[in-house]
Amino acid sequence: MNDVKIIVFDLDGTLYDDVVHFRYYADLLKDYVAEDKQEQFEADYNAVLKGQHSLKIGRAYDAKRDLILSHLNGVVQKAYNWNGEEIPTEDVTTFYPEAIPFDLTSIISIGDLWWVPVTIARHYGVTSEEAYACFMQTREHMMTEEFQLNPHEQFREVLQSLHKKYTLVLLTNSPQSDSDVIIEKLGFTSYFQEKFFEAQKPIKTKVRFSNIAEKFDVSYEEILSIGDNYINEIFPAVELGCKTIYIDAHGAGAGDSHTTTVSNLTELSKVLREKLL
């Protein structure tokens, strides 16, 4: 990584690894589920967290067909119904003859924990508009004094050193209002030279990286993308020729030879210190 000049960070799951807000989000979504289905919503949510459900980090959800998809960079390999039964190969070929487009509403990439409760809610009839309202309410909660974040000390020290040597960029799907508050709570406000909010990853990931390359007059090979969502932050960057570090906190196993893979912020801190400082 000797030629890296720009480091692009995702926010949630990348700059911090707290997870308590996902429970808050799930509870909001559950309130939109029909009362007679709420117990099953809870059972499914807990099953996913324990790795006992066909819905897993790294897979996708087809909301129109109510199918869970195992895929390789968008190319569907297998498909399962909600009960975990695999559907026939000929149906998979018919339904998904080409790489699936991740549009966040009809085809949802389960790239991180944000997408687990919302996918379960969609299965039980919650609309994408209702789900987004719950997401925004969760982000508003994260802005309050009640919500506390605990910065990872090793990562904080590394980030402090990196910003003196490289241009650091924040690229997040979250709104600016709550993202700025979260960054302030972490103590990272002064570290980022540029911030992009509501980035619409993965749909516009490549566009955002093109904008970054043009703004800072660098090649893609001089950009390092770091994130915990493979489809959002890693795969599009690899296709462009960027360097990448994937935080695979849930053992999705989506990384490849073009990507450095770590499992947590402790490992990320070690890799960044060894390769860039």
- In this prediction the pTM is 0.94
Q: Which domains are seen in the chain, by residue range? A: 6-18+150-276 (3.40.50.1000), 20-142 (no CATH)
29-68, pLDDT tens digit by residue? 999 999 999 999 999 999 999 999 999 999 999 999 999 9
Q: How far apart are CA 153 and CA 265, in angstroms?
A: 10
Q: What pLDDT, on the 0 to 100 scale, is given for residue 57?
A: 95
155-208, pLDDT tens digit by residue? 999 999 999 999 999 999 999 999 999 999 999 999 999 999 999 999 999 999
Residues facing 20 on adjacent strands: none
Kindly state the DSSP code that residue 16 receives in the 8-state scheme.
B
| Average pLDDT over all residues of the chain | 96
Name the token pair of 53: 């459900």
Name the token pair of 225: 């993308």
Name the token pair of 169: 């960029």
Q: How many CB atoms lie within 10 A of CB 175?
A: 14
262-271, pLDDT tens digit by residue? 999 999 999 9
Kindly state the DSSP code that residue 254 receives in the 8-state scheme.
-
Name the token pair of 80: 């399962």
> Which single residue is written with the structure tokens 């490992």?
267
